[in-house]
Amino acid sequence: MAKEYTFHDMTRRRLLGAAGMGGLSLLTAPAFAQRMIDLHATGGPGTRPLTDDFPQKRAMVLQRTSPPWLETPFDTFDKGVFTPNDQHFVSWHWADFPSEPDLDSYRLTVRGHVNQPLSLTIHEILNDFPRIELAAVAQCAGNSRIYMQPRVAGAQWANGSMSNALWTGIPLKAVLDRAGVKAGALQVRFGGMDKVILPESPAFLKSIDIDHARDGEVMLAFGMNGEQLPLLNGFPLKLVVPGWCAVYWIKMLSDIEVLDQPDTNYWTARGYRLPNTPFGNVKPGDSNFKLIPVTRNVPRSFITNIRSGDTIKTGAPTEARGIAFGGDCGVAKVDLSLDGGKNWLPTQLGKDEGKYSFRQWQTRFALPARGDYDLMIRCTNTKGEAQPAFPIWNPAGYMSNTIETTHVSAA
Amino acid sequence: MLRGVLFPLALSVTLLLPLAGSAKPITDLKSLKLDVPAPDQMFPDGPGADAINANCLVCHSEDHVMNQPTLTKEGWEEVVEKMIKAYKAPISEEDASAIVDYLVRIKGKK
């Protein structure tokens, strides 16, 4: 308990200290210092401040001040399938990124194993290429890590390091075609305007295979829900890799390098590794597995209008709704169980905004008698993959997609 | 055992947020001049606080460490070793062991 007290106390002091730094912060400091959110985690601090202190963001769950880790508060997901830009989650690896990126001097370089290296201005990016638009969920590979048992180190995300947006941009393929990819190209590596703090540290770079890069869907996005990107989500340009973990979605994208050798940089070759087992699941202490890179998303679903601990009127028609996504393909169906997974009942799916988007589901149910119930929600994607019922665990806390359970009682 | 009853229900369109400004195509980007909060919080006082303040606030803020779960001594040793090997934090052996002791004291798992 003493630990908890210290945590609250410190947080308040620090945030009040930080409030002196900008006009925005001063306006909101007195209110946000008091607002804490309970993530219902055990084995470590379970509460976080809700902060208005970051530019273009409001009421974000403060996981880390610097480099910013800001989580979307869960109630946002009940309001619609598109996450508002000012509540789209934020995650940076290195703190040194520009807070005033200069658009006049900005250039996107395309280099490496190409016939014609490019150096593109914002004007050229906006005007010289075909545009595409698609809805896609950005989700950190470590989303829901705070709920893994036993707990593991890393960003202590609850369920809010995921957000959905309608992205506007240009196909990466069009840019690569203009540069002319040479035969023998293997991968394409992406880097942003963020810089390492110490010169020896590994710059944050990620690569994807050349065929993936040229699939016509991977895009360079300058628009997010019809607006330019918020700074913290990667203004002015962000790589969008639909259906893949957000670690690939390089922010403040400034460099594209076509490689004819496999990428050996830390973040591609060694970081973000998951056991090569079904669902990436292993037992704590096990070590007889191979590690593979995290890549595509897997199906997930959530109830957004009923919380654990809620009381529901016995026999009364009750609405349940929420969101689901298929991972790297669409949602085929979402089923609800009222009895801890013994029986499953279909739900109705909302408007299809595209296979990479959140999709709303909704139904009505009644709890037949007084007592405790475990409501469960399960997404099956269009490849036939369903969320598993067992708790997923791995040493780095990646790719959790266990069926979510909401404990309620009928009275 | 328990059987729930499901009622069909038309999906309410009102749940979907309208997309702000999606009607107008983006023709230009506007420059941003923003303040991103800089952290100034130090670790709680106690033996080893100097070592952790000197070595563990270079790349990320104190709340990053304080929000971690409790870990075993081996768990904290692995973390500190990863900072040195993977991210190239220049930490002396002496400081590293003082930091592990500090973390075990304030965030150790029995």
Residue with token string 């055990």: A42
Domain check: are A133 and A256 in the same one?
yes
Q: Is A138 exposed, middle or buried (0-12, 13-18, 19+ CB in 10 A)?
A: buried
Domain end point (choices A257, A276, A293): A293
- What CATH number should be reported for the domain holding residue A386? 2.60.40.650
User: Does A220 reside within a domain?
Assistant: yes
User: Does A26 reside within a domain?
Assistant: yes
CA distance A223 to A237: 8
**pLDDT for B102:** 98
Q: What is the mean pLDDT of residues A4-23?
A: 30
Partner residue opposite A156 with nearest CB, options B24, B68, B78: B68
The Cα of B86 is separated from the nearest Cα of chain A by a number of Å equal to 8
| Cβ within 8 Å, pair A201-B59 | yes
- Selection from A197, A230, A296, A264 nearest residue A58 by Cα: A230
Tell the CATH topology of B45-110. Cytochrome Bc1 Complex; Chain D, domain 2 (1.10.760)
User: Does A386 reside within a domain?
Assistant: yes
| Cβ within 8 Å, pair B31-A103 | yes
Domain end point (choices A240, A274, A293): A293
User: Does A151 reside within a domain?
Assistant: no
pLDDT class for A63, splitting at 50, 70, 90?
A: very high
For residue A22, give the chain B residue with the closest CA.
Answer: B35
Q: What is the DSSP letter of B32?
A: -
The Cα of A345 is separated from the nearest Cα of chain B by a number of Å equal to 7
**Chain B residues close to A366, C-beta within 8 Å:** 4-5, 7
Question: Poorest-confidence range of A2-16, A28-42, A390-404, B31-45?
Answer: A2-16
**pLDDT for B24:** 79
The answer to whether A125 and A108 are in contact (CB under 8 A) is: yes
pLDDT class for A250, splitting at 50, 70, 90?
A: very high
pLDDT for residue A360 is more than 50:
yes
User: Does A384 reside within a domain?
Assistant: yes
CA distance A83 to A87: 7
pLDDT class for A159, splitting at 50, 70, 90?
A: very high
pLDDT class for B23, splitting at 50, 70, 90?
A: low
pLDDT class for A30, splitting at 50, 70, 90?
A: very low
Mean pLDDT over all residues of chain A? 92
Domain check: are A176 and A285 in the same one?
yes
Q: What confidence tens digit (pLDDT) does each residue in A297-308 have?
A: 999 999 999 999
β pairing state of A404-410 and A345-346? unpaired
CA distance A101 to A83: 24
pLDDT for residue A13 is more than 50:
no
Domain check: are A55 and A140 in the same one?
no
**Chain B residues close to A369, C-beta within 8 Å:** 2
* Sheet strands (E) in A80-161: 90-91, 108-112, 118-120, 132-139
Pick A13 or B47 by higher pLDDT: B47
**Chain A residues close to B5, C-beta within 8 Å:** 365-366, 368
Query: A112 — contact with chain B (CB < 8 Å)?
Result: no
User: Does A103 reside within a domain?
Assistant: no
Number of domains in chain A: 3
**pLDDT for A34:** 63
pLDDT for residue A353 is more than 60:
yes
For residue A46, give the chain B residue with the closest CA.
Answer: B67
pLDDT class for B110, splitting at 50, 70, 90?
A: confident
Domain check: are A31 and A176 in the same one?
no
Q: What confidence tens digit (pLDDT) does each residue in A108-149 have?
A: 999 999 999 999 999 999 999 999 999 999 999 999 999 999
The Cα of A31 is separated from the nearest Cα of chain B by a number of Å equal to 17
Domain check: are A363 and A243 in the same one?
no
Domain end point (choices A293, A319, A341): A293
Query: A285 — contact with chain B (CB < 8 Å)?
Result: no
Which one of A12, A66, A124, A360 would you mutate to disrupt binding with B, by most B Cβ within 10 Å of its Cβ? Answer: A66
**Chain A residues close to B37, C-beta within 8 Å:** 18, 21-22, 25, 53-54, 65-66, 68
User: Does A5 reside within a domain?
Assistant: no
Q: What percent of chain A lies above the pLDDT cut of 70?
A: 92
The answer to whether A208 and A218 are in contact (CB under 8 A) is: yes
Residue range(s) defining the domain that contains residue A307: 300-410
Residue A179, CA atoms < 13 Å, CB-side half-sphere: 24
| Local structure of B84: helix, strand or coil | helix
Domain check: are A172 and A267 in the same one?
yes
Q: Which amino acid does the sequence have at A140?
A: C
Partner residue opposite A166 with nearest CB, options B19, B71, B79: B19
The answer to whether A367 and A318 are in contact (CB under 8 A) is: yes
Domain check: are A343 and A276 in the same one?
no
- Tell how far CA B75 is from the center of its chain: 17
Q: What confidence tens digit (pLDDT) does each residue in A221-232 have?
A: 999 999 999 999
Domain check: are A248 and A136 in the same one?
yes
Domain check: are A197 and A270 in the same one?
yes
Partner residue opposite B37 with nearest CB, options A10, A25, A48: A25
The residues, any chain, with a CB within 8 Å of residue A24's CB and separated by 6 or more, are A52, A53, A55, B35
Q: What confidence tens digit (pLDDT) does each residue in A333-350 have?
A: 999 999 999 999 999 999
Q: What is the mean pLDDT of residues A70-85?
A: 98
Q: What share of chain A is helix, strand, coil (3-state, %, to 5)?
A: 20, 35, 50
- Selection from A376, A375, A380, A373 nearest residue A403 by Cα: A376
| C-alpha distances in Å from residue B13, one per residue of A322, A349, B50 | 13, 12, 57
User: How many contacts does A have with B, using Cβ atoms within 8 A?
Assistant: 233
Q: What percent of chain A lies above the pLDDT cut of 90?
A: 92
Q: What is the mean pLDDT of residues A187-214?
A: 98
Domain check: are A129 and A208 in the same one?
yes
Query: B45 — contact with chain A (CB < 8 Å)?
Result: no
Domain check: are A222 and A131 in the same one?
yes
Q: Would you state the torsion angle of the CA atoms of residues A264, A113, A92, A353, taken in this order, to the nearest 10 degrees? A: -120
